Structure 1
Amino acid sequence: MATDQLELSIVMPCLNEAETLAICVDKARSYLERSGVAGEVIVADNGSTDGSQRIAADHGARVIDIPRKGYGSALMGGIEAARGRFVIMGDADDSYDLAHLDLFVEALRAGDKLVMGDRFRGGIAPRAMPPLHRYLGNPVLSWLGRVLFRSRIRDFHCGLRGFDRDAILDLGLRTTGMEFASELVVKSTLAGLRIGEVPTTLKKDGRSRPPHLRSWRDGWRHLRFLLIFSPKWLFLYPGMVALILGVVGSLALLFGPVAVGGVGLDVSSQLYLSALAIVGYQGVVFWFLTKAYGQREGFALPRSRLFSAIAQRISVESSVLVGVIAFVVGLGIAVAQFIAWAASGFGALDTAQTVRLAVPGALLMILGAQTIMAGMFLGILSIDHKS
């Protein structure tokens, strides 16, 4: 539990940082001494084998051993062990200025629950950030974060940030890897916490070895997290576009070939458009089920009026009923075609005309079956259970 005796805990995740750890701890302690802030320095060690633990302890830090591997695991272990009301987290590679944390503490004292550093506004030293990160990775992922979650944060992945310890623990952060940085911002935004941003600097880290960060692997993990926590953009919007295009196009071709400009569309196009409709409908269903699952498990997914309106009108029974009706109509088309074929003595058929009607029949049967199965799965999600 946090105590009244300490205002600030400075937490550093550590995995074999012997080259730079001492100077980072000294800088953090010098800030506490210079500012008069009652605080501590915590090194959350993630299994170092280079003597980092001893270095940290010798320079006055409290060392917390975190057996579970991962950047997020180390930070959460350090945050949980912190005794301060506020926590400032920063890397132990000497890339961030831990000796000058005044702007972070001022913002926290003023009521911000999360204070992000902005390296692009504060200044990035030459060779401190790879061009791929500076001009593609960070700008794109930060832009996505702003679009998907209506966040105002400019530098989504700055490693120097401060927060109210209790407010952040209440978010139920779960990720163990580098995507922890995204989860912290996303869940704080969705929870409606007051978030600020202050300029900070970034210099080239002092290590002779390569960093733990892997550009493509960790970039993908950040992107995956952002998309999963925004099912509208991942499932609903692409699904709606595909469903509408597929259904409208397939129905238009039901009455004969259609020319679009100089391109003629016929039964083969109708078949592919119906496949597009199936994929789109599955996307919409996935969106709804993802939201329902998130609501059941208490995930802080974005609020959605559309989901709330649909959820009030959808039940297992209504889903199964609609699905059965669609399936029966599609099956009726198939039976009618079979009867017509039998009446002709099972002879040769006009392939184009047969397929033109068979495609919407098959489409209705597939969408009906999907609706029935989605409704039954929704019923499984709605079963009461103990945590």
Structure 2
Amino acid sequence: MNEVRGNSVDVVLPCLDERQALPWVMSRIPAGYRAIVVDNGSTDGSAQLAAELGALVVVEPRRGFGSAANAGLIAATAEFVAFCDCDGSLDPALLPVLVDQVAAGSVDLVLGSRRPRRRAWPLHARLANKVLAWRLRRTTGVPLTDLGPMRVARREALLSLGLEDRRSGYPLEMVLKASQAGWKISESPVPYSPRAGKSKVTGTLSGTVTAVRDMSAQLRAASGRK
């Protein structure tokens, strides 16, 4: 397996009012990896705290998960780019396991398949994820069980996909376009813990509905591109 130098990995952390989780998240960034915290309109001082904790802070005023994630991708300069939630639900210390798979050439994109601990995943969000994963398998043939937000790929390859969604459909668009481009895609199990603070998306019913709507639009678009 190829050895990956720490300075070859940038970790994109979309952030909206995550001051409570940031100290733990930053403490779990692997040695040598660079954290890129993309502040997406926080009012709790998240950006300042992230900078104090050593992150490169990018300010993205256009609200939306896709806006923040893509701003981080554009700001990244390392060979490998990892994406991870900034709310403490996923452990960045596990990223080398995913990075090593991409570096070895066995896959082009690897997703962390979430394994919930305790009450980490509301029922409505879990059911919505199962339905979307089933639709994704039908559309692409890729045997994924989760649209995991923890994921790794090479930066230049990601930029070549031309991702356009700037809302909740961004993670799904990445997988769909990667599949259409003939990428090797896989998933690895990762523990999923209760988040710190209040959820802005899938932790709420309205947020889940919005995410499903955005992702359904991506699935329809992918079917039209076939």
1:22 matched residue in structure 2:
23
Describe how 1:285-300 pairs up with structure 2 within 5 A: none
Amino acid at match of 1:72: G
Higher strand share: 2
Amino acid at match of 1:212: V
1:224 matched residue in structure 2:
217
1:61 matched residue in structure 2:
55
The structural deviation recorded for 1:223 is: 1.5
2:199 matched residue in structure 1:
210
Query: Structure 1 CA distance, aligned partners of 2:84 and 2:52?
Result: 19
1:13 matched residue in structure 2:
14
The structural deviation recorded for 1:212 is: 3.2
> TM-score with structure 2 length normalisation?
0.91
The structural deviation recorded for 1:195 is: 1.6
Amino acid at match of 2:22: L
The structural deviation recorded for 1:183 is: 0.2
Query: Structure 2 CA distance, aligned partners of 1:167 and 1:199?
Result: 23
Helix, strand or coil at the partner of 2:117:
coil
Helix, strand or coil at the partner of 1:100:
helix
Describe how 1:366-377 pairs up with structure 2 within 5 A: none
Runs of 4+ in 1 over 4 A off after TM superposition: none
1:129 matched residue in structure 2:
121
1:160 matched residue in structure 2:
150
Could you tell me which runs of 5 or more consecutive residues in structure 2 were left unpaired when the two chains were aligned.
Answer: none
Higher helix share: 1
Query: Structure 2 CA distance, aligned partners of 1:15 and 1:210?
Result: 10
The structural deviation recorded for 1:86 is: 0.4
Amino acid at match of 1:47: G
Cα 1:23/1:129, change in 2 over 3 Å:
same
The CA RMSD measured in Å over matched residues stands at 1.5
> TM-score with structure 1 length normalisation?
0.54
Amino acid at match of 2:98: F
Amino acid at match of 1:131: L
Q: Of residues 78, 82, 88 in structure 1, which corresponds to 2:76?
A: 82
How many residue pairs get aligned? The number is 217
The structural deviation recorded for 1:201 is: 1.0
Query: Structure 1 CA distance, aligned partners of 2:65 and 2:6?
Result: 28
The structural deviation recorded for 1:80 is: 0.8
Amino acid at match of 2:208: S
Helix, strand or coil at the partner of 1:67:
coil
Residue 185 (structure 2) pairs with residue 200 (structure 1)? no
Computing the radius of gyration from Cα coordinates, the structure with the larger value is 1
Q: Deviations over 1:9-30 (max 9, x none)?
A: 01100111111122111211xx
Query: Structure 2 CA distance, aligned partners of 1:202 and 1:191?
Result: 29
Query: Structure 1 CA distance, aligned partners of 2:139 and 2:188?
Result: 22
Residue 96 (structure 2) pairs with residue 102 (structure 1)? yes
The answer to whether the 8 A contact 1:14-1:44 is kept is yes
Give the share of equivalent positions with the same residue, in percent.
34
Amino acid at match of 1:132: H
